[in-house]
Structure 1
Amino acid sequence: MNKKKEKRRFIILCLAPAVILFTVFMVYPTINVFLMSTLKWGGFSDEKTFVGLNNFLILFKDMNFIRAFQNTIFVIVVVTIFTLALAIIFASILVREKLKGQNFFRVIFYIPNILSIVVIGAIFSAIYDPSANGLLNSFLGLFMGKDWQGIPYLGNQSIVMYSIAFALIWQAIGYYMVMYMASMSSIPAHYYEAAELDGCGKIKQFFTITLPLVWSNIRTTLTFFVISTINLSFLLVQVMTTGGPDGASRVLLFYLYDQAYNNASYGYGMAIGAITFIFSFLLSAVINKVTEREEYEF
């Protein structure tokens, strides 16, 4: 009995710091967001008025919020599909084709991930410079002729979200590619050798061997990536467009920040935060359920 008690105490002592930190920095702030979302409060005064669910009722009639929500969904869908698809394809090519300088490509692809999102925003702001002297416009000008005026990539409402999505894709591909390369490298080579003897081509091998055997890794990274995209999209929008032009690039977290700190509507901003939390939680649950399948071992 004494040994069991000592073991239990040891486990409690080991877990206690993590539980305390999680409660203080995660659970309490989350609960506090929901509590503040029921208030009409500027954030910098002592005047707080309880309004119940009124902030949420206003929220769902707010076209700016609806537009920010649509932009967030657009970013999640487009960036997730292209980033993970390209990362898996590049990882498969580098692992299966046994290219020389594999480590070199790993480093080159990974570099964008170690850069600050502020630096990435500055880089792409220069690339998207609307003048004819901008990097992308200068390149296109070689084919368009002398009268080429350039495209305002961050100043055009119809393409600004595509421009931001491309920057997010570029930033994330290398990180996930390296993760998938690690998983693919551990797949026994004799699986592919047996498949080749059966006349199975490389594309079919990819879908019948590679993809099923790294699926658990893909599931994990998919949930992680969706949540991180919601966060990173805010930072990139803040650096590159500050929500413009005319609110066309606002995403949920940027609109939260704008309402809470620029418009002094802290309670309303926390309502946006509560909706974002619920949306993220439900989306993660849906992704886990949809991608659930039998795991293969090797």
Structure 2
Amino acid sequence: MSSIAAKERRATAAAAGAPASKRGPVLSRRHREWLAAALFLAPDVLGLLVFVAVPMVLSIALSFFQVSGFGSYEWIGLGNYERMMNDPLFWDSMKITGLYVVILVPVLFCVSLGLGLLVKQKLPGMGVYRTALFLPYVVSLVVVGVLWKFLLDEQTGAVNRAMRAAGLDGESWLGSPSLALGCVIAVMVWVMMGYYMIIFLSGLQEIPKEYYEAAKLDGAGPWRQFRSVTWPLLRPTSFFVLMMSTVAAITGGLDLIFVLTNGGPANGTSLAIFYIYQQAFGFGEYGYASAMGSFLVLIMVAVSAVIFKFTRGGRFDDGE
């Protein structure tokens, strides 16, 4: 046994005295952290490259070609962009998209923030309400569209039935040019408010309670606490919600529009994204649709840059 122990001690001493070159390279702590971060980010980066970056590059390249339904490609340079500039239907869809964004984003922001403040309260059964408010977001937009199309039907819809029962006249919610876009916005708010409510709730829970206690000691009421404590510390979260909801409003909602109104009535709900879809998959104008899509992405980037500038990267201008 003593000889075995002696051999083990000699082996340990030899290993300890071995040169570093024979033990292999040793990474510093900083390099190990960089390597771990790269390994964690690799799947997302690869996914973005494959499913976002590459399709965007191909779409830009496709916008310079005239593509037929038989798969032939003809180089036309800026022809698709010239056609876009002279297409009144496209610019009508851009105006509708602008109106849609200007109404949807502020309403969604305010409703989500209000719900976040509400569900933050520790009241009995609040977890059930949080789940109920979040559920519409996880439902497919196609299912949501079918549900609300049934509810808003002029003849048999539950909304008009309730109005008639109350002695009011029913409305053609999805058939009237003056009401259809508002209905689409209302349904989209109903779908998205639970998601942004959770984001606001997460931001609200990160605010230390000590700040509210100090504000109460200074005699601040609920509104003053919101202005002096909640709103300033919630601004990074607010910036994120504002940015994401704007991008979602510009590029999303295709499924809902397709099911609810199909762009009607009288193209009153034909958003730019829906018009691009029609040109690509309805008329086979893939090159023209790519040109409009590239222009829409450019608009989205410009709007995002403006939001980022005016909020100072997540810190709203206090006028100081």
TM normalised by structure 2 equals 0.83
* Displacement over 6 Å in runs of 4+: none
> Closer, same or farther in 2 for the Cα pair 1:110/1:257, shift >3 Å?
same
- 1:170 CA drift (Å): 0.5
2:192 corresponds to 1:169: no
Per-residue CA distance 1:226-252 (angstroms, 9 max, x = gap): 222234321110111111112111111
> Closer, same or farther in 2 for the Cα pair 1:209/1:126, shift >3 Å?
same
- 1:188 CA drift (Å): 2.2
The answer as to whether partners of 2:84 and 2:90 remain within 8 angstroms in 1 is yes
The answer as to whether partners of 1:117 and 1:232 remain within 8 angstroms in 2 is no
Per-residue CA distance 1:156-184 (angstroms, 9 max, x = gap): 11221111000000111111112211221
- 1:18 CA drift (Å): 4.8
Identity %: 27
Per-residue CA distance 1:21-62 (angstroms, 9 max, x = gap): 4333222211111111111113x3233221211211221221
> Closer, same or farther in 2 for the Cα pair 1:89/1:12, shift >3 Å?
closer
Q: Distance in 2 between matches of 1:212 and 1:13?
A: 33
Matching residue within 36, 43, 46 for 2:71:
46
Query: Which residues of structure 2 form unaligned runs of 5+?
Result: 1-20
- 1:20 CA drift (Å): 4.2
- 1:66 CA drift (Å): 1.0
- Within a 5 Å distance, the mapping from 1:43-122 to structure 2 comes to 44-95=69-120, 97-122=121-146
Query: Which residues of structure 1 form unaligned runs of 5+?
Result: none
- 1:13 CA drift (Å): 7.3
Q: Distance in 2 between matches of 1:159 and 1:220?
A: 30
Q: Distance in 1 between matches of 2:76 and 2:149?
A: 41
- Within a 5 Å distance, the mapping from 1:1-298 to structure 2 comes to 2-3=25-26, 7=31, 10=35, 14=39, 18-42=44-68, 44-95=69-120, 97-131=121-155, 133-144=156-167, 148=169, 150-292=170-312, 294=315
- 1:143 CA drift (Å): 3.2
Per-residue CA distance 1:236-275 (angstroms, 9 max, x = gap): 1011111111211111111111001111211111111111
Q: Distance in 2 between matches of 1:20 and 1:143?
A: 56
- 1:142 CA drift (Å): 2.5
Q: Distance in 1 between matches of 2:36 and 2:211?
A: 42
Computed over aligned residues only, the root mean square deviation of the Cα atoms, in angstroms, reads 2.5
Structure 2 counterpart of 1:32, which letter?
L
The answer as to whether partners of 2:81 and 2:291 remain within 8 angstroms in 1 is yes
Structure 2 counterpart of 1:46, which letter?
G
> Closer, same or farther in 2 for the Cα pair 1:175/1:16, shift >3 Å?
closer
Q: Secondary structure at the match of 1:158?
A: helix
Q: Distance in 2 between matches of 1:294 and 1:182?
A: 18
Question: Larger C-alpha radius of gyration, 1 or 2?
Answer: 2
Q: Distance in 2 between matches of 1:125 and 1:230?
A: 22
Higher relative contact order (CA 8 A, sep 6+): 1
Q: Distance in 2 between matches of 1:116 and 1:90?
A: 22
Q: Distance in 2 between matches of 1:66 and 1:290?
A: 27
> Closer, same or farther in 2 for the Cα pair 1:153/1:12, shift >3 Å?
closer
